[in-house]
Each structure stands twice: as C-alpha cells, then as structure tokens.
Amino acid sequence: MRYDIVIIGGAIVGSSIAYYLREEGFSGSIALIERDPQFAHAATTLSCASIRQQFSIPENIRLSQFTLKLFRRLTEEFGADADIGFREGGYLILAGENGLPILKANHDAQMAEGADIVLEDADALVRRFPWLSAEGITAGAYGRTGEGWFDAHAMLMLFRKALRSKKIDFITADVTGIERQGDRATSVSLDNGETLEAGTVINAAGPNAGKVAAMAGLVLPVEPRKRNVFVFEAREKYADMPLLVDPSGIYVRPEGSVYITGGAEPEEGDGPADPADFEPDWPLFEEVIWPVLATRIPAFEAIKPTRAWAGHYDYNTLDQNAVIGPHPHVGNFLFANGFSGHGLQQAPAVGKALAELIVHGGYRTVDCSAFGYGRVAEGRAFRELNVI
Ligand SMILES: Cc1cc2nc3c(=O)[nH]c(=O)nc-3n(C[C@H](O)[C@H](O)[C@H](O)COP(=O)(O)OP(=O)(O)OC[C@H]3O[C@@H](n4cnc5c(N)ncnc54)[C@H](O)[C@@H]3O)c2cc1C
C-alpha cells in the first residue's frame, strides 16, 4: 500500500490534521493510523478539556482563539446537532506578590491579542467571588469571555465523524517502525506485519511522539508525564465559579454537579511516566491539593472525593510548547507534538495550519513558524510561562 500522507495517531491532533487537509482541498490518499481506537489512554479523552486565552506567548493565544471561533460556529462547521457542551466559565489565575510581574506581563500580551481578561486586585476579586479567600493573593486575571470547558470526547467524535465522508483510510494498528532513505521518510511498518509506503509522514502520537520520532532516527524532546485529576463533591454549588488556578499551580473547576482538581505535581520525581501507568496518586490529593483548596475556598474544607483518573501530558522537556512543522533535513516528516497540557484547545488550529502548509506551501491563518523544529535542533527554548 502507498499513501500520499500517513498520519500516526488518530486522536484530536491527527484527526484535525486529516479534517483540514480535506477542507483545504488535498485530494491525495490519507491513512490515519491509531492503535487504541477506543482512545482509552489518549491524552485527548483523559484531559480536563478546558480552553483559555491566558497564555504568555501571543502565538499560543492565537491558536486558542482560532479554536474559540470554531466553538462559536460549531453547527455551521459540523452540522445542526454538533454540540460539545462548551461552558464559557472563564479562568481565574491568581498571583501573590512574587507572581504579580509575570501575571501583568501575560495580561499585557493577552490584551494586545484582544482577549477579554480583566486584571483585578484581591479586594475586587473577593467582591466578584465572595466564596474566595484572598489569603496570600495580590491580584488575579479573570477571563470574562472566551475561556471555559467542554466535552473532549464529544469534540473528538465530531472530527472523527466528519472524516467518515472525506475518504480517509482508518487503520487500526501500532506503528512499530519508520524507514528512511537519506533525508526522506519512505514507509511505516505496522505491528500486523504490513508496510505502508508514505509520501509524507505526520507525527500526531501525543505523549508517544518522542518514541515515534526516534523510529525515524529523529530526536524530539517529548515524553509522557503523568498528570492526576481528582473529582469531588461539595455541598456548595458555585454557578459563577471559573477554572481557578492557585499560585501553587493547583487548579479547580466545576464539572456539572461536581468539581475537578489537580496540578502541582511535585517537581521531584516528575520525569517520564511509565506509558502503562494510569493509576491516580491519591496521596497527592490528600497531602497537597486538599489543604490548598480548603485555604483558597473555605467552604471546600468539607468535601467528598469520589473518583480520580490519570493521563499523560505530551510534555516537551525543552520549553513546554508545541513543535509544529517539518523536520529541517527530513522534510517529509512533520511534527504536531509536545503541547504540554494545552494541545486539545490548540488541535483545530494546528490541524488547519499544517494543512495550509502542505496544500499551499505556507501558513495562512495562524503563523506557526515560531513553533518550528529549528529551535529544538538549536536547543533554543520558546517558553510558555503559563503551563497549568
Ligand atoms: C490530565 C490532562 C489534562 C489536560 N487538560 C487539558 C486542557 O484542559 N486543555 C487542553 O487544551 N489540553 C489539555 N491536556 C492536553 C491535551 O489533552 C493534549 O495536549 C492533546 O490531547 C494531545 O492530542 P494528541 O492527539 O496529540 O494526543 P493523544 O490524544 O494522546 O493522541 C495520540 C494518539 O496516538 C496514538 N499513538 C501513539 N503512538 C502510536 C503508534 N506507534 N501507532 C499508532 N498509534 C499511536 C495513541 O494511541 C493516541 O490515541 C490535558 C492532558 C492531560 C493528560
């Protein structure tokens, strides 16, 4: 078999690339290869499914703004019954005295991109959110519109369903090897013994992207990092509660009638995860997260944890930012990797960007040049400061 484009990984990033390739008019053959067709272990379905504009880098803000626009015209794009349950609840990122200069600089960058974020001091925040304790807080940035959360599985299914009528070959298999001849990737080998010749290979393998790149003899500093999400019930229901990020890095937000929380994984021991380890670390909740929640929202002193899950970030160890575009020497091997915790909200924009690059030879909607592999080769970080 020969395909013009072989995409490795069929979750949100791979599906979005396939979708926009067809939208941009690509008429060649496309194979979308996925080893876990239920997406039981994909970062996409294990994520917290939130979208924000509160990034430090304008390019990241623009990627999210593209997706936000898509969310606002979802039925136009995907049909009248398209619904991902988008709740525009906002983010509230809190800072103490030390974090204030960064919060302000980020806010300036967000305002320059037209985001609807207000920066308020502690008193104003408590007036706005009377359930909040301002202990140790100097200011906070609150997204009045354009930020919130949604159903990740529903979003993935929208793209996957749309692909059914777009002449894409869905292949259920594990990619076990990538062959190269000099500066070209020529084929991929599958665990079922088949080999697919490829005109272009796209790495959309999420947390496994570093390993997939290595199959082609390429270095990509992306590894799985385990991240826990805990679900709890509380008597108090705060309908106005945004996704709150404490200066400690711990976040909490409503999810229907319950709440979810996580963050602040200890730096010590935060290395590459065992790809098979999806066991939640309950001590993290009891010893680290709960005390912070009870301080920040006193009513959360009495909460009932009910369940938890763990997923893997597609963590870029260089700078916690995406790597997008071709390898400088192996030009038919493209990356869409390393999103480090914000890839779900960036996937539609990245799919569109890569499709434009392939079909038109350049980025048209969101310029992703700054995310190019060149910086990896040079060891030059393009750092996002707001990694949650
Ligand atoms: C706990 C948690 C919370 C998160 N919260 C958010 C959030 O609130 N907002 C946000 O924007 N992002 C969030 N993220 C990050 C986001 O989920 C990811 O950045 C995004 O889903 C990456 O999408 P992907 O398609 O690249 O990766 P994945 O969803 O992991 O998909 C990669 C796919 O590739 C397949 N694959 C891998 N290797 C092979 C191979 N060799 N052969 C065949 N198939 C292969 C895998 O089976 C998988 O299905 C979170 C992530 C986690 C873990």
Residue 344: which of 14, 87, 6 has the closest Cα?
14
How far does residue 308's CA lie from ligand 1's centre (Å)?
Answer: 18
Q: Phi/psi zone of residue 303: left (φ > 0), alpha (ψ -120 to 50 degrees), beta?
A: beta
The DSSP call for residue 149 is E
Give, in order, the Cα–Cα distances in Å from 106 to each of 115, 118, 186.
11, 12, 43
- Confidence (pTM): 0.98
**pLDDT at residue 66 above 80?**
yes
255 within ligand 1 shell (Cβ under 6 A): no
227 within ligand 1 shell (Cβ under 6 A): yes
At 239 the pLDDT is: 85
Confidence class of residue 109 from pLDDT cuts 50, 70 and 90?
very high
**pLDDT at residue 345 above 80?**
yes
84 close to 156: Cβ distance less than 8 angstroms: no
The DSSP call for residue 144 is S
Tokens 């990694």 belong to 387
Interatomic CA distance for residues 280 and 260, integer angstroms: 13
296 close to 246: Cβ distance less than 8 angstroms: yes
How far does residue 206's CA lie from ligand 1's centre (Å)?
Answer: 5
Specify burial of residue 269 (Cβ count, 10 A radius: 0-12, 13-18, 19+): exposed
13 within ligand 1 shell (Cβ under 6 A): yes
Mean pLDDT computed over 61-67 = 97
Interatomic CA distance for residues 323 and 122, integer angstroms: 37
At 146 the pLDDT is: 97
**pLDDT at residue 181 above 90?**
yes
205 within ligand 1 shell (Cβ under 6 A): yes
What does the buried/exposed string (b/e) look like for 64-94 if buried means 16 or more CB atoms within 10 Å of the residue's CB? bbbbbebbeebeeebeeebebebebbbbbbb
Give, in order, the Cα–Cα distances in Å from 310 to each of 35, 156, 225, 247, 261.
19, 19, 10, 22, 12
360 close to 245: Cβ distance less than 8 angstroms: no
The DSSP call for residue 286 is I
158 within ligand 1 shell (Cβ under 6 A): no
Q: What are phi and psi of 306, to 5 degrees?
A: -115, -40
Cα angle 338-14-87, degrees, rounded to a multiple of 5: 80
222 within ligand 1 shell (Cβ under 6 A): no
Interatomic CA distance for residues 291 and 276, integer angstroms: 30
Residue 54: which of 145, 139, 115 has the closest Cα?
115
Mean pLDDT computed over 253-278 = 92
Residue 384: which of 108, 116, 106, 143 has the closest Cα?
106
137 within ligand 1 shell (Cβ under 6 A): no
Worst-scoring range by mean pLDDT, 77-91, 108-122, 259-273? 259-273
What is residue 240's three-state secondary structure?
coil
Worst-scoring range by mean pLDDT, 18-22, 207-211, 252-256, 264-268? 264-268
According to DSSP, the residues that pair with 189 across neighbouring strands are 177, 195
207 close to 295: Cβ distance less than 8 angstroms: no
Nearest residue by C-alpha to atom 45 in ligand 1: 9
- For a substitution probing ligand 1, which of 44, 86, 91, 159 has the most ligand atoms within 8 Å of its CB? 44
Half-sphere exposure of 383 (CA within 13 A, CB side): 7
Cβ neighbors of 263 (< 8 A, separation 6 or more) are 245, 246, 248, 249, 250, 251, 289, 388
How far does residue 151's CA lie from ligand 1's centre (Å)?
Answer: 14
Specify burial of residue 113 (Cβ count, 10 A radius: 0-12, 13-18, 19+): middle
48 within ligand 1 shell (Cβ under 6 A): yes
Across the chain, what does the average pLDDT equal?
97
At 387 the pLDDT is: 82
How many Cβ atoms sit within 10 Å of the Cβ of residue 267?
7
290 within ligand 1 shell (Cβ under 6 A): no
